[in-house]
């Protein structure tokens, strides 16, 4: 889920008015009234991502994937049938910090009642039937085999492992074959009991309902959950030493990742780093990396950079794909571009162009209820202020060249660079 801010001018569209309160069960509720269409999006998020797997990689995703495979009095087929009969969309997923279940429904009856009642059962009374566990386990294992055949995915996982070591962010969200094979039904039930509780939940609602109705519906979808406790804050990752990871892979191209520890959602350098990264590599082909690596030297068709802020510092990475024989040259150019950017920062013209693009495109990122509900759920999970969306353009416009240069120097430490190369035989030499 990309909510770094997926880059829409508030002069063109007013930001959504976000309201928040605590439900009777102890969950945080985030709400936006949007009455253009008789639709409602509900997204329930838990601090129950793979960072809570402990010694069982894949447990969080395994648990989340099973939620819709039968709940309460309904087996998987019956549950799917009652949802589809009313045109309701049900989705779920997990990443490192969080896991979620979401529904999209009409606000007319009986669709609204079916959607909220079904969501309540999925969240609070999943069956975790043995046959469903067998089926989902096999699906997850197949997914891991596919991942192992993708050099880009292998490179990404290797970067996380190298950056985070023993930290909970280190292992893949999807787990490992050994980990998934060992997970039992009782492990899944225990994980659900601990983390799928009201005190660990954020309920986000966006649609054609008033606040009183939103409060009633939030209580309804949480009705089957225990109160429980919020998951503890994760420990900060330890600084890493510079290292190189080179893996031979049967491919004509090498996938390159240059990574360092980045920032959390609450880091004071968040906005200077975001705007700066847009110039460095966030805008891909139109960025400094795109110009130097692709346009000037033809070393890579795809090159970009990103920050992934999470509960505690997530990664900063520059990523490219290139011919095996050009891997070393591409790595050097990427390093040179970053170093020059850290010394000089962007030009005033580059900064102005970035600001205009980010603020000018912002309305598109809040142009649908589905996008808004993802944003406000993220705001609730990371305890961001209710005016975060409304003040975002002003904070972007306030960023200066000096702030970007200072933030990159402070956060991007050369001695902590992790280099990952996954590609042809030369990569292991």
CATH of residue 24's domain is: 3.30.830.10
What whole-number distance in Å separates Cα of residue 400 and Cα of residue 406? 10
Is 336 within the bounds of a domain?
yes
Average pLDDT over residues 254-282: 96
In this predicted structure, the answer to whether residue 26 has a pLDDT above a threshold of 90 is: yes
In this structure, the answer to whether residues 180 and 130 fall within a common structural domain is yes
Per the structure block, which two tokens stand in for 170?
A: 């280190």
In this structure, the answer to whether residues 247 and 212 fall within a common structural domain is no
In this predicted structure, the answer to whether residue 1 has a pLDDT above a threshold of 80 is: no
So what's the pLDDT on residue 11?
34
Averaged confidence pLDDT in the chain? 94
Beta strands in 120-249 (DSSP E): 201-207, 243-248
pLDDT category of residue 283 using cuts at 50, 70 and 90: confident
Q: For the whole model, what pTM was predicted?
A: 0.94
So what's the pLDDT on residue 15?
80
Interval 391-405: pLDDT, tens: 999 999 999 999 999
In this structure, the answer to whether residues 193 and 249 fall within a common structural domain is no
pLDDT category of residue 364 using cuts at 50, 70 and 90: confident
- Separation of first and last alpha carbons in the chain: 36
Domain count, the chain: 2
In this structure, the answer to whether residues 287 and 368 fall within a common structural domain is yes
By DSSP bridging, strand 28-33 and strand 19-22 are antiparallel
In this structure, the answer to whether residues 73 and 138 fall within a common structural domain is yes
In this predicted structure, the answer to whether residue 204 has a pLDDT above a threshold of 50 is: yes
So what's the pLDDT on residue 410?
94
- Domain coverage including residue 122: 19-221
pLDDT category of residue 105 using cuts at 50, 70 and 90: very high
CA distances from 186 to 103, 129, 193, 326, 366 (A): 27, 11, 10, 50, 41
Is 4 within the bounds of a domain?
no
Question: What is the share, in percent, of the chain residues with pLDDT greater than 90?
Answer: 90
Interval 130-181: pLDDT, tens: 999 999 999 999 999 999 999 999 999 999 999 999 999 999 999 999 999 9
94-98, 207-211, 250-254, 392-396: least confident range: 250-254
In this structure, the answer to whether residues 43 and 159 fall within a common structural domain is yes
In this structure, the answer to whether residues 255 and 142 fall within a common structural domain is no
Is 370 within the bounds of a domain?
yes
What whole-number distance in Å separates Cα of residue 423 and Cα of residue 429? 11
Is 8 within the bounds of a domain?
no
Q: State the Cα angle at 213 between 211 and 216, rounded to 5°.
A: 110
In this structure, the answer to whether residues 277 and 170 fall within a common structural domain is no
In this structure, the answer to whether residues 211 and 283 fall within a common structural domain is no
Is 227 within the bounds of a domain?
no
In this structure, the answer to whether residues 200 and 162 fall within a common structural domain is yes
Is 236 within the bounds of a domain?
no
Q: What is the DSSP string of 93-140?
A: EE-SS-EEEEEEEESSTTHHHHHHHHHHHHHH-B---HHHHHHHHHHH
Average pLDDT over residues 268-278: 97
190-194, 230-234, 366-370: least confident range: 366-370
Is 129 within the bounds of a domain?
yes
Is 14 within the bounds of a domain?
no
In this structure, the answer to whether residues 122 and 157 fall within a common structural domain is yes
In this structure, the answer to whether residues 186 and 330 fall within a common structural domain is no
């Amino acid at each position: 889920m990309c909510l770094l801010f997926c880059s829409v001018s508030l002069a063109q569209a007013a930001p959504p008015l976000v309201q928040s309160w605590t439900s009777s069960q102890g969950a945080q509720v985030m709400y936006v009234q949007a009455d253009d269409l008789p639709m409602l999006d509900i997204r329930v998020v838990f601090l129950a991502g793979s960072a809570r797997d402990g010694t069982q990689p894949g447990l969080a995703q395994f648990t989340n994937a099973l939620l819709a495979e039968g709940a309460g009095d309904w087996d998987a087929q019956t549950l799917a049938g009652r949802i589809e009969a009313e045109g309701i969309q049900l989705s779920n997923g997990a990443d490192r910090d969080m896991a979620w279940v979401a529904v999209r429904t009409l606000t007319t009856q009986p669709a609204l009642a079916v959607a909220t009642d079904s969501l309540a059962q999925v969240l609070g009374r999943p069956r975790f039937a043995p046959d469903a566990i067998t089926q989902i386990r096999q699906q997850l294992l197949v997914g891991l085999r596919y991942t192992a055949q993708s050099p880009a995915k292998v490179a990404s996982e290797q970067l996380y492992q190298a950056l985070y070591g023993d930290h909970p962010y280190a292992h893949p969200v999807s787990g490992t074959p050994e980990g998934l094979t060992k997970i039992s039904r009782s492990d899944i039930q225990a994980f659900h009991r601990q983390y799928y509780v009201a005190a660990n939940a954020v309920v986000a609602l966006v649609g054609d309902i008033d606040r009183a109705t939103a409060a009633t519906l939030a209580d309804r979808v949480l009705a089957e959950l225990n109160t429980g406790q919020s998951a503890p804050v994760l420990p900060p990752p330890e600084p890493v030493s510079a290292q190189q990871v080179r893996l031979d892979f049967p491919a004509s191209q090498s996938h390159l990742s240059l990574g360092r520890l980045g920032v959390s959602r609450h880091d004071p350098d968040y906005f200077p780093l975001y705007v700066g990264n847009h110039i460095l590599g966030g805008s891909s082909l139109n960025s400094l990396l795109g110009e130097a690596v692709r346009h000037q030297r033809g070393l890579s068709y795809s090159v970009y950079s990103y920050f992934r802020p999470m509960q505690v510092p997530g990664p900063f990475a520059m990523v490219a794909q290139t011919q095996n024989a050009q891997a070393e040259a591409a790595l050097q150019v990427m390093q040179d571009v970053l170093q020059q950017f850290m010394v000089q920062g962007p030009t005033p013209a580059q900064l102005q162009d970035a600001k205009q693009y980010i603020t000018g495109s912002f309305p598109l990122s809040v142009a649908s209820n589905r996008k808004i509900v993802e944003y406000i759920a993220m705001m609730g999970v990371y305890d961001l202020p209710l005016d975060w969306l409304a003040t975002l353009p002003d904070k972007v416009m306030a960023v200066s060249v000096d702030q970007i240069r200072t933030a990159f120097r402070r956060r991007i430490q050369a001695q902590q660079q992790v280099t990952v190369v996954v590609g042809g035989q030369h990569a292991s030499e």
